[in-house]
Amino acid sequence: MAPSILAADFAALGREVERATEAGSDYMHIDVMDGVFVNNITMGPGVVKSIRPYSRLPFIAHLMITHPERHVKAFSDAGSDIIEVHLEAEQEDVGETLKAIRDHGRKAALAVNPPTPIDRAFPYMRDIDLLLVMSVNPGWGGQSFMPEVLPKIAAAKAEMAAQGSSVPVEIDGGINASTGALAAKAGADILAAGSYVFKAEDMRAAIESLRRAGESKD
């Protein structure tokens, strides 16, 4: 379970991260948008650093930005444990960006947008520690889940097996108990959810319902 702080109360962000941690989360998902790769602008490494003391959970910095290679060190130094970069983002070289993340002692993740064929990620399967399949077009929270992306998960896992590798697959966008169950049955290992968790009357109950949805893959 990876609550996305994009849906949190930014006036009390540290407490929101603490609350999500206490409610049983496994990761903290941090959506970073630059107003270039996507239209929205959210936060930078300073925010990651400011909330780091509020949780010991692994921080996933999801960089929806152009030229992510220029910012790897900053997000690493701020306390990100996993740094996700988009296959589609303008950058010098995807493989070199992933290598830079690992060279900084962090886990490297590759994100793939809904319109992008999953086979474009296949050359990097041995270079990543996590694969993110987007189930909405990135840029804004609260969008509707796109079930047509689900076959990408099985295709990616089949390719991993063929290459002798295996890493978790995260899915992000429109995730709730119902769509989370669909994603889990399709093979997703990590569910990133924003509004469903942070806007819930009972955050712990929301996270537990996502966990049950995740267990439905079995």
Q: Supply the residues annotated as catalytic.
A: 31, 172
Task: Please work out, in degrees rounded to the nearest 5, the angle formed at the alpha carbon of residue 148 by the alpha carbons of 143 and 149.
Answer: 80
130 with 102: CB under 8 angstroms? no
175 with 209: CB under 8 angstroms? no
C-beta atoms surrounding 110 within 10 Å: 25
CA distance linking residue 114 with residue 116, whole number of Å: 6
C-beta atoms surrounding 138 within 10 Å: 22
Tokens representing 101? 């993340």
Q: Is 189 exposed, middle or buried (0-12, 13-18, 19+ CB in 10 A)?
A: middle
CA distance linking residue 45 with residue 25, whole number of Å: 21
CA distance linking residue 168 with residue 32, whole number of Å: 21
